[in-house]
Amino acid sequence: MRLIIAVVLLLPAVSHAGTVDVLEARVRCRPAPGGRPASVCQFTVTLEHDDTGWDHYANRFEIVGPAGKPLATRVLRHPHVEEQPFTRSQARVRIPHEIESVEIRAGDLVHGLGGATVRLAIPHARGAGSEAKPSPVQ
Domains of the chain, each with CATH number or no CATH = 17-137 (2.60.40)
Contact 48/100 with Cβ under 8 angstroms? no
Average pLDDT (64-85) is 86
Task: Give the contacts of 64 (CB within 8 A, at least 6 positions apart).
Answer: 70, 71, 102, 103, 104, 105
Q: pLDDT: is 130 or 62 the higher one?
A: 62
Q: pLDDT: is 53 or 22 the higher one?
A: 22
Return the CA Rg of the chain: 18
Residue 67 — pLDDT band, cuts 50, 70, 90?
A: confident
Average pLDDT (57-67) is 91
How many whole angstroms separate alpha carbon 123 and alpha carbon 136? 17
pLDDT, tens only, 94-111: 999 999 899 999 998 888
Q: Please report the DSSP string for 89-119 in residue order.
A: EEEEEEEETT--EEEEEEEETTTEE-S-EEE
pTM of the model: 0.77
How many whole angstroms separate alpha carbon 137 and alpha carbon 122? 15
Q: pLDDT: is 64 or 7 the higher one?
A: 64
Average pLDDT (102-130) is 80
- pLDDT of 13 > 90? The answer is no
